[in-house]
Amino acid sequence: MSTERSSPRYSSIDAWHAEDIAESIVEGQFAAVAAVMAARKEVAAAVVAMHARLQRHGRLIYVGAGTSGRLAEQDGAELAPTFGWPEERLVVILAGGEKARVRSVEGAEDDAEEGVSLISQHEVDAHDVLIAIAASGTTRFTMACLREAKRRGALTLGIANNRPSPILEEADYPIFLDTGAEPVAGSTRMKAGTAQKVALNTLSTSLMILLGKVYRGLMVDVRAANAKLVKR
């Protein structure tokens, strides 16, 4: 699994000067963005499919565990205030629930039964679009959600940083973000997380543009909930 391996590039990072450490980490962030650029055709194809499914009905559903889940929640949270996306058409399913927003919930990402149960509770169906995110591409909770949603007829997108992986093999629209080894081996909140956030930004913003939420580069359904937005 490429995101878990230790890279010779960073084998002595603990002995480097602070400036060299910072430079290498920022360098990795540029590589993360490049990984999304390499997947731009897959991202665009997914956006077209999402647009077709969500023009009139259906919900946008995000699923993830740990860093991937928190990034998904962050992306989803911005859609209502920025684009006027109806809150009843947004679902974020995070392994471990509310507690997992700020701390690790041990074992939550391995609970496949809970994933199936939550998809059932939300009554996911063929009108919906589900985006499943996992750096490994193997997270049991996330995979269970994707499989159950697909069984119910939902359109499924899978975002992962390792290939081959079940998420990429089973999603209707797989998006592989090839970020490779992390500066700190296995710390996928770094390069993998950045690539996931850029991919989510691109997916959701492109979708909202196609849905008519932007005109001449301006947000036309923004929710003016504070002084800055009223002025905007």
The set of catalytic residues is 78, 109
The encoded tokens of residue 82 equal 């920025």
* Distance between CA atoms of residues 103 and 98, nearest Å: 9
Query: Distance of CA 98 to CAs 93, 95, 219, Å?
Result: 10, 9, 30
Amino acid (one-letter) located at 147 = R
For CA atoms 169, 174, 180, 185, the dihedral sign is negative
Residue 180 Ramachandran class (φ > 0 left, ψ -120 to 50 alpha, else beta)? left
3 state DSSP class of 95 = coil
